[in-house]
């Protein structure tokens, strides 16, 4: 694996995690976002990851400061990708936004640069032509809390060059991931093909008034032994992401129930600033959510 310079496009929750993990493993990282305000938030997100690295994997302050020093921040895309061996796109789950981004990226990135999308649900073939380099494009999907849940799903589309596929598998290994190769396109990859139906089912139970969020989470945690219920997971993922996915699904299918769900997420959570764990409140309040209390599972 001869990648040295990695650009992360999109500095949200997962984009920031990918950036820091990549730098922590010794590579140079450029973070791109649309303006300086977004980049300032990214700097805070990345700095706030340090305690988790200390607690969960025993990283030292020196290790973490060295990693942070490997990261640069840019609001000019051409500057951000000037030396990039690989660009990992982690921008919102909106088809037009991604299409526009890849059209621009293809114009300014060096010929050598490989493009990878971290899209949770969309297929790389949807954007392959927009990149201008379909052979050098594929999907690279990470799970949240990347330093712990160290999986990287690498998914080719029919036009991906096999050598590029193998290179990105090696990159995933180099940054401490367990690479999970997918040889055929699958919406949601492996992880989200299993996880999204659970999250969808939980949200529909809430929408229909069957039970509240804590009862639904408690049911899943008690019955399966899982450390988090679906709404706690959604708080980690971010409610903006859940909303974008629901909105896209509602538009694609015309399902009125999914449209109601998207509206519920927007009016009762996003519009009230309850966008997940990062904001301090989503379905739960943080840093001390109810599901983490010792008596949560005791009836």
Residues 52-111: pLDDT tens digits? 999 999 999 999 999 999 999 999 999 999 999 999 999 998 899 999 999 999 999 999
**Residue-averaged pLDDT of the chain:** 95
- Counting every residue written for the chain, the total comes to 299
DSSP letter at 56 equals: H
**pLDDT on residue 241:** 87
**pLDDT on residue 248:** 86
> Considering the chain, what percentage of its residues have pLDDT values greater than 90?
89
Residues 229-281: pLDDT tens digits? 999 999 998 999 899 889 988 998 999 999 999 999 999 999 999 999 989 99
Q: What is the pTM of this model?
A: 0.80
Residues 189-214: pLDDT tens digits? 998 889 989 999 999 999 999 999 99
Residue 142 has pLDDT above 90, yes or no: yes
Provide the CA 6 distance to its chain's centre, in angstroms: 16
Provide the CA 103 distance to its chain's centre, in angstroms: 21
Contact criterion met (CB below 8 Å) for 296 and 231: no
Residue 291 has pLDDT above 90, yes or no: yes
Q: How confident is the model at residue 1 (pLDDT cuts 50, 70, 90)?
A: confident
The crossing angle, in degrees rounded to 10, of helices 230-237 and 239-253 is 100
Q: Is 196 helix (H, G, I), strand (E, B) or coil?
A: helix
Residue 152 has pLDDT above 90, yes or no: yes
Residue 299 has pLDDT above 80, yes or no: no
**pLDDT on residue 121:** 82
**pLDDT on residue 75:** 98
- Measured between alpha carbons, how far is 105 from 119 in angstroms, rounded to an integer? 16
Residue 15 has pLDDT above 90, yes or no: yes
β-pair partners for 179: 152
Phi then psi dihedrals of residue 143, to 5 deg: -90, 150
Contact criterion met (CB below 8 Å) for 233 and 241: no
DSSP letter at 151 equals: E
Largest CA distance in the chain: 59
More reliable by pLDDT, 192 or 290: 290
């Amino acid at each position: 694996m001869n990648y040295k310079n990695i650009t992360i496009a999109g500095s949200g929750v997962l984009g920031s995690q990918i950036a820091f993990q990549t730098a922590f493993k010794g590579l140079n990282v450029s973070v791109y976002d649309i303006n300086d305000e977004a980049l300032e938030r990214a700097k805070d997100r990345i700095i706030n990851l340090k305690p988790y690295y200390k607690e969960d994997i025993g990283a030292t302050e020196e290790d973490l400061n060295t990693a942070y020093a490997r990261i640069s921040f840019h609001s000019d895309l051409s500057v951000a990708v000037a030396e990039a061996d690989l660009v990992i796109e982690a921008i919102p789950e909106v088809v037009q936004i991604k299409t526009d981004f890849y059209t621009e990226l293809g114009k300014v990135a060096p010929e050598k640069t490989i493009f990878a999308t971290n899209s949770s649900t969309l297929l790389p073939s949807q954007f392959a032509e927009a990149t201008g380099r379909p052979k050098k494009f594929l999907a690279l999907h990470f799970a949240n809390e990347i330093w712990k849940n160290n999986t990287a799903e690498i998914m080719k589309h029919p036009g991906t060059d096999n050598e590029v596929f193998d290179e990105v598998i090696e990159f995933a290994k180099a940054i401490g991931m367990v690479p999970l190769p997918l040889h055929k396109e699958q919406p949601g990859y492996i992880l989200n093909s299993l996880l999204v139906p659970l999250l969808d089912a939980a949200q529909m139970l809430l929408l229909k008034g069957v039970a509240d969020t804590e009862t639904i989470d408690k049911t899943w945690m008690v019955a399966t032994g899982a450390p988090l219920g679906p709404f706690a997971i959604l708080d980690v993922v971010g409610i903006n992401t859940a909303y974008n996915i629901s909105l896209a699904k509602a538009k694609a299918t015309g399902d009125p129930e999914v449209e109601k769900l998207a509206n519920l997420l927007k009016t009762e959570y996003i519009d009230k600033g309850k966008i997940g764990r990062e904001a301090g409140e989503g379905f739960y309040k943080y840093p001390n959510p109810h599901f983490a209390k010792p008596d949560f599972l005791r009836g």
